[in-house]
Structure 1
């Protein structure tokens, strides 16, 4: 038994995990794009005559308490969970890249002020700070996205600053500076290419966190509002029927688990392949 568990663990950490995870995520992205064409029904159309039906040819995963197709809602829910998690990652990465690069390369009072700002944001647990910002902005999808972007950029900024501090005194940077290369060109041409592997690792790990945060806020009623299909909101709607129809919570929960685990496995595999150490942990 122990030997079999070890073999499974080694298989998940082997070189094949990267193409497997990339293939699965590519398939999910394709399903997300093609959801309007492959979903069998309108995900928000209410049909009380068909409520809480079991799986059938017409409804492959059955229906919910309002007669809506569970499969269609899962497919459309991927568009919100994956799509907005990607938006949060790209926006946070851009903000963190600019601030971290400036702080690390310029140093001095600019570095001090920017890092004290980061310390102030990191003094609070992520989810608590996001909940506070959503409470200020009000519930809703765009408010959640904005709140998460205002919190997530700090980790990217600190990572970029740390790496640029370790790179800017290297001989090839000194040679570029002596030859009269501009600071912007040094950052773009020489510094940023050296931080791409850590970005890939950090991005895959952050995507899992972003999806869980979006789903958690939707579950609490602060994120995506009904009747919009989203995995966290679907779990919240299905909790009333946990005894009679547990699959209403099971289906979206399994999708969240599948996507988050896939991103985490990919991040760990990329970390081992590129020799990148995880420099931070979520609170």
Structure 2
């Protein structure tokens, strides 16, 4: 099994296939209002737990809502807010990591000791604690995950900047009189683009998993919003009679996470980039 997995990850078709899957999901996210056959939050108890039909291709849930429509709209929450969390956390981590790595000294020591303190705990535990303080809800989850995630990126970028700082082309830029801002923006940041691409694909899977897990626990996106983790939570009471209520959103989460992870691993092999940190 391990050998088959390695072969598939190094296959030249891995990147195009994963990109195609993610592109389709992106299009679904954008055009969900036109693709969904019904209102995803409209309750119709007369049609509850209906099997698949022409009107309801994937049937209905316990409140008579269209499962297909809720899956399509759920991509907006899972992919959209995972992207927001990643971009915001990456931006904060990039700025702080670059400053710490380039400046060094006392500033580097204080910032990295803070990051070490946060990284000493599992990220999901910290997010749960922050959500417990802020209260359940979508924006609270997004804010809590951003507060936790940026330290991992800052630590990684700091290591990259420290190694680049000793390179000859950086020394030449300093001698030529380039400002610190110009050196970081024009000479250092372009060299960390491949790791950013790899990190983005790998960490998007984690962000989607975290959002879905918190929604499943009732701390994230609140009903009636059609988020995949919340749909699994609502369908768990019908696991014996209507298991599809949990299977459909679970398969969507699995598909997205596998696509991001396989794409990230393939890009990592192609760019010879190794993952610099682990969350757990």
Same fold (TM over 0.5): yes
Q: Are positions 1:90 and 2:91 aligned together?
A: no
Deviation by residue 1:167-189 (Cα, 9 ceiling, x = unmatched): 01110000000000000000000
Deviates more, 1:255-264 or 1:8-17: 8-17
Deviation at 1:13, TM superposition (A): 2.5
In structure 2, C-alpha distance between the alignment counterparts of 1:264 and 1:116, rounded to whole Å: 30
Shift of 1:8: 6.2
- Give the match for residue 137 of structure 1: 134
Q: Secondary structure at the match of 1:73?
A: helix
Structure 1: tracts of 5 or more residues without a match: none
**Aligned match of 1:219:** 216
Aligned partners of 1:12, 1:39: CA distance in 2, in Å? Answer: 33
1:1-283 equivalences in 2 (<5 Å): 6-7=3-4, 9-283=6-280
Comparing 9-18 with 111-120, greater Cα deviation is found at: 9-18
Deviation at 1:9, TM superposition (A): 4.6
- Cα RMSD of the aligned pairs, angstroms, is 1.0
Contact 2:9/2:265 (8 A) holds in 1: no
Once residues 24 and 152 of structure 1 are traced to their aligned partners in structure 2, the CA distance between those partners, rounded to angstroms, is 26
Instruction: Summarize deviations over 1:145-199 as a string: whole Å, max 9, x none.
Output: 0000000001110110000100011100000000000000000000000000001
Secondary structure, aligned partner of 1:34? helix
The residue matched to 2:211 in structure 1 has which SS?
helix
CA distance in 1, matches of 2:6, 2:226: 34
1:182-221 Cα distance to aligned partner (Å, 9 max, x none): 0000000000000000011111110000000000000000
- TM superposition shift of 1:14: 1.1
* Distance across 1 between alignment mates of 2:269 and 2:6: 14
State the Cα distance separating 1:127 from its structure 2 match: 0.7
Following TM superposition, by how much is the alpha carbon of 1:12 offset from its aligned partner in structure 2, in angstroms? 3.6
Runs of 4+ in 1 over 2 A off after TM superposition: 5-9
User: Kindly tell me: are residues 8 and 94 of structure 1, through their superposed partners in 2, closer, same or farther at Cα, counting changes over 3 Å?
Assistant: closer
- Report the number of matched residues: 280
